[in-house]
Amino acid sequence: MTRFLLALSVLILAWSGAALAHSYKLGSLEIGHPWARATPPTAPTGGGFLTITNKGTTIDRLVSASSPAAASVQV
């Protein structure tokens, strides 16, 4: 039992870094501090927030957004 708890603790600690990640990078674009507030089950909409920074020399535009968790996403 002790060996099982030790292995479980190691796995939890290994996965905790991904849960606390707060920035992502895609090419020269950096997405910082994405978060969403929990909404009650009866709420018709929810909100999410993030910061997008372009570190490259080419101009980029955000032209759409999508989510597997929602029927529609608005920018």
* pLDDT tens string 16-50: 555 556 788 888 999 998 888 888 889 888 888 99
Q: Is residue 3 part of a domain?
A: no
Mean pLDDT of the region 48-58: 92
Please count the other Cβ atoms lying within 10 Å of the Cβ belonging to residue 59: 6
Give pLDDT, residue 16. 52
Question: For the chain, what is the domain count?
Answer: 1
Per-residue pLDDT at 14 exceeds 60 = no
Q: Is residue 10 part of a domain?
A: no
Q: Is residue 17 part of a domain?
A: no
Give pLDDT, residue 9. 64
Q: What is the distance between the terminal CA atoms of the chain, rounded to a whole angstrom?
A: 50
Q: Supply the range of the domain harboring residue 40.
A: 22-75
Q: Is residue 15 part of a domain?
A: no
Q: Is residue 51 part of a domain?
A: yes
- With bands split at pLDDT 50, 70 and 90, how would you rate the model's confidence at 68? confident
Give pLDDT, residue 44. 87
